[in-house]
Structure 1
Amino acid sequence: MRRLWLLFTQAVTVCLGILFIVATLRPDWLHSSPPDASTAPAASSSVASPDVRQGEVSYAKAVALAAPAVVNVYTSKHINVPIVPLPNDPELNRLFRDIPGFSRRKQSTNLGSGVIVRGDGYILTNYHVIEAADAIEVALSDGRQTRAKLVGADPESDLAVLKIDLPNLAVMTFNGEHQVRIGDVVLAIGNPFGVGQTTTMGIVSALGRNRLGINIYENFIQTDAAINPGNSGGALIDTTGRLVGINTAIYSETGGSLGIGFAIPAQAAHTIMDQIIQTGTVTRGWLGIEPQDITPELARAFGLKREDGVIIASVFKNGPAWRAGIRVGDIVLQLNDQQVEDAIGFLNQIAPLPPGKEVSLQIMRDGKKQDIAVKIGSRPRIRKP
């Protein structure tokens, strides 16, 4: 037994010595060569993936799959401009634009991007791209151009749905149940500055961005993929070519990309699009209240141990909350046993609820907690597209 042990230890020592010599003199012998392209299994035609060749990564397959579904959107509208230059006063300019003889009609053009998401010609874009447009033109990546019809829009989320009538359209696939994660590689496709279709790359920098003052309902994907004017309404895709967001806005003091762009998540855009196609509008739950965040000062004044919840700053007369007995100064702590964190989160909790559904609000009034049943109403439209 002792002899066998000695033989084993000597063999291990010799092998380690050989391994050390090879690793020092010929380290390339220890690395397997990349598989030959002719023997590698073919990728699925429906799902693209990054190409890895000789240590280089390419997203050409994802772009080739998604780019044909991204279109350029051109809009035109006529506006009244003063004949004589006026001081930089918006109110004075607006007054003189409406006075006959002091203004003239001028055609204004705008450009943006859109994404074909259905084979029957439905296109998702941003509301601000087509806002107040007299005519909308769409140019496809294959060179075809056509007029587009506005199906409907949702200014509160800055989304709009267009319709074109052309055959053989390339369609982009939504990312479905695949969750976007911080750190995922994403590609932005659009028409920045009107130079033509352009693809940029970055990562998902953050999720759930709100309080930006862009829309009423905000739940943005933040990315550092370069997004510039003209990219609005374009596609944010993952490395398999699926749609993860609609590019909407940038944070910039110069008008150019500073590495902070925002996109509407694809799932939210899909839900809004379906409602617009079916009914021509978007229905959101509404209580008829204006919530306000609870500051540390308010928490101390009301004797709250935490700063969660919202305080009711105003109540719309004869609205759902008014009829249920909610009053200014009430503090909302929970909605259907779900904690209310802040005003933005509270509005986002209410919005998906169907009108007519009864919910329970836990409020604090005069230092005492109580539950109040409220029937959800339908949020009135603030402005029309």
Structure 2
Amino acid sequence: MRGLKQKLAAGIALVVVAGSVAFVAPVVAEDNRAVPQTRAEVQASFAPLVKETHGAVVNVYAERIVERRTNPFAGDPFFEQFFGQRFPNRTEKQSSLGSGVIVEANGTVVTNNHVIEGADDIKVALSDGREFPVKVLLKDERLDLAVLKIDAKENLPVLKIADSDRIEVGDLVLAIGNPFGVGQTVTSGIVSGLARNQVSEGDFGFFIQTDAAINPGNSGGALMNMNGELIGLNTAIFSKGGGSNGVGFAIPANLVKVFLAAADSGAKAFERPYVGATFEPVTSDVADALGLKKVLGALVVKTVEGGPAAKAGIKAGQVITAVNGIPVEHPDALNYRLTTAGVGKPVTLTVMEEGRERQVELTLSGAPETRPRDEKAITGENPFSGATVGNLSPKLAYELQMPTETTGVVITKVEDGSVADRLGFKPRDIIVSVNGTEVASSADMAKVARSQPNFWRVEINRNGQTLRQIFR
């Protein structure tokens, strides 16, 4: 089987590069990859590898109940004050389809979070057609990963998780999933690029790029190497029309591995390392000014006083170029390397300053709660009624998907249909001041809400923008 896989990898490589073997000199790498030399090698097939692995790729069905407004004035406080809820909203069922990969024989499945997000009912269908209800063990919107569990009462076929740091541009890959719901489909291609960022809307930016055809429904499916191992979880495509244009992206297997370990440990939320610093990409101007030979790395913009980076001697103006000897292409790559290293683990950062390189030792830890959140639910006759506020700390900011250096009093949640909801307040809004008085703590906010002014002049910070509003 091993010899067949090697011949297979070589055979497809020939099709990609040329069209003639007569004048191609043998090229053999240290890992035994080679250009095919015989007709038999050229005619090699993926079929044995697919038969061996396809049973570990499943379909994931998610259903959600959504509410549709039948009255255009529904939710309008003025209208409802006079007419009430005379037009009940209509509910309807929405279904979505994705893929998943069995990674543990006990029925543990990994998939994308967006496949199951907001679902009221989730089922997994095996390649033999059997369906099972699902228990969600762990999910994370920012990483777009989810771990599910089914109980098949038997050991299931699995895909072994490979070391995705070992893959190279040009390696052959197979993508297995259920595009458009037509049934399990296998496509082939190569690794087109590594460390791709600015692919999704989340704050995670480190993807494997492939030209293997990926379409809607492939999300959560397997990107597999020629050893039948999982190297990535298919996640996104670049396409104007919704179909494959040969530019697909997968979450690296090493991140999947760390996330799976957190789920197996019983964690209720995935914790990423907290460095206490903000970073920007290195531009050509910055590289020239700092004496860097290459335009890559993460430029330190500022550090949090007393944070791990500051304690390790990292300062603004320095550039992180590697983690444990692995080059860092951009800030998203730094984030990925620290995340896959794991909380509690020591790392060695390569730091460049004024053309000189030095090594900095850092033990990774989770985001601390440097200030008690002291969450308070606001009630009564005021614009904030129905909102819950808390004191920001790196830990709370991380949980709310905000920059961990953000400070202030933040709205952590808003009840549906409440006064705060109808007036447009949202989670992650930072309350700066009310009636000209700075709001320094959640206790201050609760006290202000109990006052009875003739009007409310509110200033909030939303995603870095200052908004001012007056309520009577």
TM-score over 0.5 (shorter chain):
yes
The answer to whether structure 1 residue 292 and structure 2 residue 280 are counterparts is yes
1:36 equivalent in structure 2: none
**CA pair 48-230 structure 1, distance change in 2 beyond 3 A:** farther
Question: Offset of 1:315 from its aligned partner?
Answer: 4.7
Candidates 320, 342, 346, aligned match of 2:334: 346
SS at match of 1:226: coil
SS at match of 2:290: coil
1:153 equivalent in structure 2: 139
2:434 equivalent in structure 1: none
**CA pair 196-48 structure 1, distance change in 2 beyond 3 A:** farther
Q: Residue 69 of structure 1 contacts residue 170 of structure 1 at CA under 8 Å; is this kept in 2?
A: yes
**CA pair 256-207 structure 1, distance change in 2 beyond 3 A:** same
Candidates 64, 68, 77, aligned match of 2:64: 77
Give the distance between the partners of 2:161 and 2:209, measured in 1 at CA: 17
The answer to whether structure 1 residue 184 and structure 2 residue 201 are counterparts is no
Question: Offset of 1:364 from its aligned partner?
Answer: 5.6
Question: Offset of 1:230 from its aligned partner?
Answer: 0.4
Percent same amino acid among aligned pairs? 36
1:382 equivalent in structure 2: 399
1:135 equivalent in structure 2: 121
Give the distance between the partners of 2:163 and 2:362, measured in 1 at CA: 32
1:173 equivalent in structure 2: 159
What is the 5 A alignment of 1:309-320?
Answer: 310-313=298-301, 315=303, 319-320=307-308
Question: Offset of 1:308 from its aligned partner?
Answer: 5.4
SS at match of 2:265: helix
Q: Unpaired segments of 5 or more residues in structure 1? A: 1-42, 87-91
2:210 equivalent in structure 1: 223
**CA pair 237-110 structure 1, distance change in 2 beyond 3 A:** same
Q: Residue 48 of structure 1 contacts residue 62 of structure 1 at CA under 8 Å; is this kept in 2?
A: no
**CA pair 129-294 structure 1, distance change in 2 beyond 3 A:** same
Give the distance between the partners of 2:329 and 2:184, measured in 1 at CA: 41
Give the distance between the partners of 1:121 and 1:206, measured in 2 at CA: 32
Structure 1 length as normaliser, TM-score?
A: 0.71
Q: Bigger shift: 289-298 or 181-190?
A: 289-298
The answer to whether structure 1 residue 119 and structure 2 residue 105 are counterparts is yes
One-letter code aligned to 2:116: I
Give the distance between the partners of 1:104 and 1:143, measured in 2 at CA: 33
Question: Offset of 1:332 from its aligned partner?
Answer: 3.9
What is the 5 A alignment of 1:226-305?
Answer: 226-280=213-267, 281-297=269-285, 303-305=289-291
Q: Residue 195 of structure 2 contacts residue 333 of structure 2 at CA under 8 Å; is this kept in 1?
A: no
Give the distance between the partners of 2:88 and 2:300, measured in 1 at CA: 46
One-letter code aligned to 1:350: L
Q: Bigger shift: 252-261 or 164-173?
A: 164-173
CA RMSD of aligned residues (A): 4.0
Give the distance between the partners of 1:360 and 1:264, measured in 2 at CA: 23
What is the 5 A alignment of 1:183-222?
Answer: 183-222=170-209
Question: Offset of 1:336 from its aligned partner?
Answer: 7.7
Q: Residue 362 of structure 1 contacts residue 369 of structure 1 at CA under 8 Å; is this kept in 2?
A: yes
* Per-residue deviation, residues 249-287 of structure 1 (Å, max 9, x unmatched): 111111101011111222331232122211324332211
Give the distance between the partners of 2:182 and 2:328, measured in 1 at CA: 46
1:24 equivalent in structure 2: none
Give the distance between the partners of 1:55 and 1:296, measured in 2 at CA: 44
Give the distance between the partners of 2:62 and 2:363, measured in 1 at CA: 41
Q: Residue 262 of structure 2 contacts residue 270 of structure 2 at CA under 8 Å; is this kept in 1?
A: yes
1:33 equivalent in structure 2: none
Higher-Rg member (1/2): 1
Candidates 39, 47, 51, aligned match of 1:60: 47
Structure 2 length as normaliser, TM-score?
A: 0.59
**CA pair 298-249 structure 1, distance change in 2 beyond 3 A:** same
**CA pair 316-213 structure 1, distance change in 2 beyond 3 A:** farther
Give the distance between the partners of 2:232 and 2:136, measured in 1 at CA: 20
2:458 equivalent in structure 1: none
The answer to whether structure 1 residue 107 and structure 2 residue 93 are counterparts is yes
Give the distance between the partners of 2:287 and 2:177, measured in 1 at CA: 46
Q: Bigger shift: 143-152 or 340-349?
A: 340-349
Question: Offset of 1:343 from its aligned partner?
Answer: 2.1
Q: Bigger shift: 156-165 or 333-342?
A: 333-342
**CA pair 270-347 structure 1, distance change in 2 beyond 3 A:** closer
One-letter code aligned to 2:332: I
SS at match of 2:127: coil
SS at match of 1:283: coil
Q: Unpaired segments of 5 or more residues in structure 2? A: 12-38, 368-394, 402-472
One-letter code aligned to 2:231: V
Question: Offset of 1:226 from its aligned partner?
Answer: 0.9
2:431 equivalent in structure 1: none
**CA pair 375-139 structure 1, distance change in 2 beyond 3 A:** closer
* Per-residue deviation, residues 95-141 of structure 1 (Å, max 9, x unmatched): x9xx9657433322111001111111100111111112111111111
Q: Bigger shift: 260-269 or 170-179?
A: 170-179
Question: Offset of 1:238 from its aligned partner?
Answer: 2.6
**CA pair 56-369 structure 1, distance change in 2 beyond 3 A:** closer
Matched residues, number: 329
Question: Offset of 1:160 from its aligned partner?
Answer: 1.0
One-letter code aligned to 1:216: D
2:417 equivalent in structure 1: none
One-letter code aligned to 1:224: D
Give the distance between the partners of 2:338 and 2:111, measured in 1 at CA: 25
